[in-house]
């Protein structure tokens, strides 16, 4: 059977993974799970749409980013929605039998073989040199992914947990998001039980980091690349060239120009406006991992 070694993009929600997923997928040799691939089953040739789109970087930019360069928005004009777009693709995994359980440590041979077939089929029809997959739930599926793809590569995007927690409390979907580590209760439900909304967001980063650290222990070091979000914004082309080399794709002038057009830049961290009590709360939850990764 045809073999592939996909690249799994890891990182807690609001770490910048969606932005990185899309700017890497602009590259004509990087494949991805599209909205069409997720919606329709494998007997339809939906990956061919992504193959046709691959060299059309301007069209991808027009469809995937708004006028301010934002890579994460849902209310796109209907015409832009027609263009294949990178998505998380949970249905690809659920169709393979994978679950959303906490820190999966094993998967049956049937499940891993189904996942292999699904992703091999996808990349073969896309014709891409690298298949990049970003699904937040994969943070806790690393052992299962490694069983299906022993030589897969893992791109870990790291961001200061204080910035992540601050960002989570400001997005509309967070209040009603089902939190996996809290028996799928929502932050609003947890808040009604006297938990702090900021504390919930802070713990979410910690729980995701715990699963990533646990999963990557079993991966060969040469198959893991950690990139800091802050450095990606400070030196985008330099960081992206390192990433492209890691995933086995050469930089190209057109992709460099597309990245330059995004005008990526660090902004002032708004968590620095927190009260002393807010900072103490978050630090009491995140301190261990902030120290491990050099943020404090």
Res 41: pLDDT: 64
Res 294: pLDDT: 98
Ranges 19-23, 42-46, 172-176, 285-289: which has the least confidence:
42-46
Hey, where are the domains in the chain? Answer: 7-161+221-271
Number of residues written out for the chain: 296
What CATH number does domain 7-161+221-271 carry, 3.90.380.10, 3.30.365.10, 3.40.50.300, 3.40.1380.20? 3.40.50.300
At 265-282, the pLDDT tens digits run: 998 999 999 999 999 999
Split at pLDDT 50, 70, 90, the class of 107 is confident
Of 215, 87, 93, 223, the C-alpha closest to 152 is: 223
The model scores a pTM over 0.85: yes
Ranges 102-111, 157-166, 255-264: which has the least confidence:
102-111
pLDDT exceeds cutoff 80 at 1: no
pLDDT exceeds cutoff 60 at 226: yes
Res 49: pLDDT: 81
The CA-based angle 31-32-34, given to 5 degrees, is 130
Which tokens go with 136? Answer: 């937040």
Of 31 and 69, the one with more pLDDT: 31
Helix, strand or coil for residue 244? helix
Res 217: pLDDT: 95
At 144-188, the pLDDT tens digits run: 999 999 999 999 999 999 999 999 999 999 999 999 999 999 999
Res 135: pLDDT: 97
Res 121: pLDDT: 87
Helix, strand or coil for residue 70? coil
Q: What is the mean pLDDT of the chain?
A: 91
At 81-94, the pLDDT tens digits run: 888 999 999 999 99
Res 68: pLDDT: 62
What is the C-alpha to C-alpha distance for residues 185 and 179, in angstroms, rounded to an integer? 6
């Amino acid at each position: 059977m045809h073999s592939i070694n996909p690249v799994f993009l890891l990182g807690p929600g609001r770490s910048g993974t969606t932005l990185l997923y899309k700017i890497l997928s602009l590259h004509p040799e990087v494949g991805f799970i599209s909205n069409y691939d997720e919606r329709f089953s494998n007997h339809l040739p939906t990956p061919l749409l992504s193959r046709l789109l691959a060299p059309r970087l301007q069209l991808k930019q027009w469809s995937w980013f708004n006028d301010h360069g934002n890579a994460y928005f849902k209310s796109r004009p209907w015409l832009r929605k027609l263009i294949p777009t990178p998505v998380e693709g949970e249905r690809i995994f659920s169709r393979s039998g994978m679950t959303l359980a906490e820190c999966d440590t094993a998967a049956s041979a049937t499940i891993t073989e189904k996942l292999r077939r699904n992703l091999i089929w996808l990349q073969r029809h896309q014709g891409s040199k690298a298949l990049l997959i970003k699904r937040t739930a994969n943070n806790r599926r690393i052992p299962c992914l490694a069983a299906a793809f022993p030589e897969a590569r893992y791109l870990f995007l790291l961001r200061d947990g204080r910035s992540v927690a601050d960002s989570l409390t400001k997005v509309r979907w967070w209040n009603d998001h089902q939190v996996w580590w809290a028996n799928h209760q929502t932050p609003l439900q947890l808040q009604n039980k006297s938990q702090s909304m900021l504390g919930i967001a802070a713990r979410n980063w910690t729980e995701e980091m715990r699963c990533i650290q646990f999963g990557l222990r079993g991966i060969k070091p040469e198959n893991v690349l950690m990139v800091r979000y802050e450095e990606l914004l400070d030196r985008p082309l330099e960081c992206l060239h390192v990433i492209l080399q890691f995933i086995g794709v050469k930089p190209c002038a057109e992709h460099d120009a597309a990245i330059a057009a995004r005008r990526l830049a660090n902004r002032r961290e708004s968590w620095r406006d927190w009260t002393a009590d807010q900072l103490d709360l978050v630090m009491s939850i995140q301190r261990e991992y902030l120290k491990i990764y050099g943020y404090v």
